[in-house]
Structure 1
């Protein structure tokens, strides 16, 4: 088939490599920007923080009368921001809480509500057999492919604080011999 300009038949061509590479680069930049760290400034409006970080995933009433706003983001929940706001909707403080410093604050005997206010919703909740226990797990950014896990007893309180285990998403699939 001819591709000259005087031919009534034209061959459809795929976009050039430059077009595809440009589209991929734009997509990568947008994805990186979406998950880049965000500076949270005391005094800024809650709406501005939500615009920068994404939708609110939970709200918690704090003992001091403020509201803690949870914004869980990132693939598989590897980032969760907790932003404390006053009654006027102004930011008092905020930070990303899925890290070992915040996990160390989870101690034996804490309630489910206390854990949620501290580090937000887990990526996964699993009942543990007939004993009435539930294990919550959080994925977080680390180089060892670990996740943080907390076990709750039938009374809804933590048993032994929390611990770290290999993230099953990092494990190769089991193949029997």
Structure 2
């Protein structure tokens, strides 16, 4: 039978399970503090993943870059602002589009790897640059010589939360000829 053992000694608290052989697994305050520090560091590193802490209307482009890092692509807008593209990968399921107005103030941060954004692409009209300025660089790029077709793949989560792929097809002129969404095969019952 195991019993919980706690011992308090001059500034250190140890505790653990005592086995039948009398051995005690000790956890010192230093180890616990180190564990909490590691957890805090990981949480802080993840906090900037989606721009957490940035406030639309008040944060500046400099704060965005300090918190989120350098974008994969910067696209100037006709109205004078810019979109900063932050793919989270290389095989990530999110890409954040950060819209900054012409005065350098943050307007919005959005994950664009969603079906409503995919629907904005126009067959026969949208170009490679249009796609790059919304979704950023693709996860995989494949050229099909027999069809003279280029396909860019983006990973995302579908409406049901399953990992999926969004394929953008281009002709040899770099114009979108179609799109396709396919759910990835997964052995994970919870798919998350």
TM over 0.5: yes
| Unaligned ranges ≥5, structure 2 | 1-25
TM (norm. structure 2) is 0.66
Match of 1:59 in 2: 74
Which is worse superposed, 70-79 or 59-68?
A: 70-79
Match of 2:5 in 1: none
2:116 matches 1:101: yes
Native 8 Å contact 1:59 1:69 kept in 2: yes
SS at match of 1:102: helix
Match of 1:71 in 2: 86
SS at match of 1:140: strand
Native 8 Å contact 2:90 2:139 kept in 1: no
- Size of the alignment, in residue pairs? 156
Structure 1 or 2: larger helix share?
A: 1
How far apart are 1:31 and its partner, in Å?
A: 5.4
Structure 1 or 2: larger strand share?
A: 2
Which is worse superposed, 138-147 or 103-112?
A: 138-147
Specify the structure having the higher radius of gyration (Cα).
2
Native 8 Å contact 2:51 2:67 kept in 1: no
| Cα deviations by residue, 1:44-84 (Å, 9 ceiling, x for unpaired) | 20111222223211111222232211122256232222122
Instruction: Identify the structure with bigger relative contact order (alpha carbons < 8 Å, sequence gap 6+).
Output: 1
Native 8 Å contact 1:40 1:49 kept in 2: no
- Partner residue of 1:44 out of 52, 59, 71: 59
| Unaligned ranges ≥5, structure 1 | 1-15, 173-177
> Whole-Å Cα distance in 1 between the matches of residues 63 and 99 of structure 2?
14
CA RMSD, Structure 1 to Structure 2 (Å): 3.0
